[in-house]
Chain A
């Protein structure tokens, strides 16, 4: 089970990020999780939103480069070692993590949600499913 993430190109220019976020807010998009990867020259904003198609259309029509891609949403329990267990599982099976970030939503889960992109998403999903690691679905995100 995958969830959709929206990736957005952010120019290295004052106000670039602010413009993107305000475009999203204008169209009533609710952000579930936000992360930004930056280099010296540009950034990539990654967001989980409640309505990805709407968000994508809005940004595209404003000449912002976006893409929607699959990531894994992992439910973590609120206890030490929960993240470590997931990472160890992946590593033991030769799957690398490209990037990850986390968010919490006290309304639906006491623990945290992990957003993860693996070198091989399909393989990572299989490994986690075999060990019955609980995963987050698109439906759940829409209902948050």
Chain B
């Protein structure tokens, strides 16, 4: 088993706790002294830096919301003068005004080393050529992976995104050993390679580092098959760092959070109290070492779980699940948190097109959940029993994954309303009292 920085990646829990406590004390004082918003918030909450002794005191600290970053746009949250900022990145701003983040030289070094941990975990060495098909620019994907490849001493191929024919030609002619891009683009490259008659098993390509958008295990299988590689999931977000906040090892059972640089909390979206390992909640990050743009208890609105269970790879960092949805999308039905993405997972498992609609209603005091699914020709039969069997199987699978019963209604293809090519997934008819 290879590690990039074994001394920290396999450190004992006690050592990690010690590092986190020390760094947390330091960063809280740092932001209190340097970021006006944090000083105000902490003063309001009546918390002084010296009240925070370690991670057990996290709950005393105020949250940071995406809106705070918009309100202080562009540089209001920066903790260093611009002369110490070596680079700026920005989020795409698809859900509102864009936000801008900064990195000092040390921040970029930290970032590079975290991405290097991912590359090593994916079995890569300095002898390998890393094909970066993430976009280069303000988006953190391209330059983030690039920084890691550089740090490890790999040969970077900064192709950036787009121009599929060129991507495939470079992959063949330059002999890319690893590919980094979004999972949907990896799917597309795999399909395009097959269409072009490229025998991917003859290519040196053996690993893929994919992230920046949600993807499923089914997509992973499909990419691994079409590109003949092992696909690794990398997690990150612009606000916190970019790709590399958490990284997957060869066990492919969750992503190791770089705990020497970040604290991850999983909080109940309602009560904001931590939930036990394995239980879903909102993912919240605290930066421990960032200099230019350190965020405290940043609420990602991503929903996920963590586990402290020992990983077969030997790394001791806590593992987080893939984000399972957004708190924005979460429905609370009969007290159970339901995410549209879970329904999609079940449909994909049953090899159905993920064309569905969720209708939530209330009959008397009870919430009802109906899942409308477009029937396909393959599942149709002239006998009622066959269709009912499929309907029943779907109902049972949904129940076991969601934890509550859903009524499945089969509908004609194309009947679920689509707007701009995207189906409207949720109709909530419950009247708010």
Contact = CB atoms under 8 A, between A and B. Distances in A.
Interface of A: 5, 7, 9, 11-12, 37-39, 41-42, 44, 46, 63-67, 69, 98-99, 117
A42 B407 CA distance: 13
A98 B383 CA distance: 8
A44 B375 CA distance: 13
Interface of B: 375-377, 380-385, 387-388, 391, 408-415
Contacts of B413: 63, 65
Contact of A41 (B376, B385, B391, B414): B391
* Chain A binding surface SS class: strand
24 contacts: A5-B382, A9-B380, A9-B387, A9-B410, A9-B412, A11-B411, A11-B415, A37-B384, A42-B387, A42-B409, A42-B410, A63-B412, A63-B413, A64-B412, A65-B376, A65-B412, A66-B377, A66-B380, A67-B377, A69-B382, A98-B383, A98-B385, A117-B382, A117-B383
Given A63-B412, A66-B377, 16 more contacts: A5-B382, A7-B380, A9-B412, A11-B415, A37-B384, A39-B388, A41-B391, A42-B387, A46-B382, A63-B414, A64-B412, A65-B376, A65-B377, A67-B381, A98-B383, A117-B382
A65 B383 contact: no
Contacts of B388: 39
Contact of A39 (B377, B380, B382, B384): B384
Contacts of B377: 65-67
A39 B385 CA distance: 10
A31 B410 CA distance: 26
A65 B413 CA distance: 8
Contacts of A39: 384, 388
A7 B382 contact: yes
Contacts of B409: 12, 41-42
Contact of B384 (A5, A44, A66): A44
Give 3 nearest A-B pairs by CB, closest first: A7-B382, A63-B414, A65-B380
Contacts of A66: 377, 380
Contacts of A37: 384
A98 B388 CA distance: 14
B412 A11 contact: yes
Q: Name the residue among B391, B411, B415 with the largest chain A CB count within 10 angstroms.
A: B411
Contacts of A63: 412-415
A67 B383 CA distance: 11
Contact of B382 (A41, A42, A44): A44
B389 to A, nearest CB: 12
A87 B385 CA distance: 21
Given A11-B412, A98-B383, A65 B391 contact: no
Q: Name the residue among B382, B391, B414 with the largest chain A CB count within 10 angstroms.
A: B382
Contacts of A5: 382
Contacts of B382: 5, 7, 44, 46, 67, 69, 117
Nearest to A60: B377
A4 to B, nearest CB: 11
Contact of B410 (A11, A67, A98, A99): A11
Contacts of A9: 375, 380, 387, 410, 412
A98 to B, nearest CB: 6
Nearest to A68: B382
Contacts of A44: 382-384, 387
A45 to B, nearest CB: 10
Contacts of B384: 37-39, 44
A63 B387 CA distance: 18
Contacts of A65: 375-377, 380, 412-413
Contacts of B415: 11, 63
A44 B383 CA distance: 8
Nearest to B391: A41
A121 B292 CA distance: 75
A67 B377 CA distance: 8
A39 B286 CA distance: 54
Nearest to A64: B412
Contacts of B391: 41
Given A39-B388, A41-B391, A65-B376, A99 B412 contact: no
Contacts of B383: 44, 98-99, 117
B379 to A, nearest CB: 9
B168 to A, nearest CB: 36
